[in-house]
Amino acid sequence: MAERLRIAVLDDSQHVARDAANWSALQARAEIDFFDAPLGGEAEIIAKLSRYDVLVPMRERTAFPASVINALPNLKFIALTGGRAPSLDMAACTARGILICNTRGDFVGAATPELAWGLMLACMRSIPQADASMKRGGWHDPTLVGATLGGKRLGVVGLGKLGGKVAHYGRAFDMEVVGWSQNLTDEDAKAKGATRVDKNELFATSDVISLHLVLSDRTRGIVGAPELSAMKDGAVLINTSRGPLIDEAALIAELKRGRIRAGLDVFDVEPLPTEHPLRALPNVVLTPHLGYSVAPAFRQFYSDSIENILAWLDGKPIRMLNPNALGASKA
């Protein structure tokens, strides 16, 4: 009798996968294991996943470079949650005949900009600090005098789908909105309700700066010591995109000076190490990469993933990212 298909659902650190979708049709045809904790380094990932035929990664929480892909002997299919994962080596998968199918992300377009806006408000009004003070029995704290967003300048770095929505929120809050990215034109900025300025002006004149860029070789470290030191006293930097967009050491140094504030949802290393210096700074609001982490998104991610695996098992794959894998070697 043939061995049952083995499926690993990865990085379910919020313990939502089991209840987010109906797994029964897939459980009738396969053995499914749910992994709640990070898998560790490459050697640990390979050791833990070598027996599985199908992986269901949670976006890019676990990296799958070629060195890992090529060391997983049984891997045949990846049901990727979300539209893409830069940490997954698609070329290595295609070369081995490992098909990747993705899911819809209808709720991410609202979830991440809304979190960015929440971080802005939290920083401008010291909401986490006020909440902590109240729960300690306090009332008015003279160190927690806030500021408004209305009338201030919002600088959006990256005016794509998510950045454009943040710009829209800025106008609704009566903010002046400016934007910059490497390929932004005056026309594109105007279409998003913003004015294009150069990078130096954006960092030097904005009261709040929100990053919405895809991480790539040319955007890694795009916010460094010169940009951070140019920021106005009291300005706020928001990052809900990817941690390595910012030079982390330069950011920590600037935050320690106490001139600026930050709201951060993403980090160079995730999960953020327990003793990381960012955890001890009073002028930063931290969230654990919650940008897309909303219940409707998880329901869609996992329902689509189940549908993708069943379609592949039936020989009629859907939502294929690398269809060329169908004709590649299975070695």
Q: Which residues are catalytic, by number? A: 242, 270, 289
Q: How far is CA 213 from CA 159, 246, 328, in A?
A: 8, 11, 33
Tokens of 39: 């898998």
Q: Kindly report whether the peptide bond that precedes residue 288 is cis, defined as omega within 30 degrees of 0.
A: no
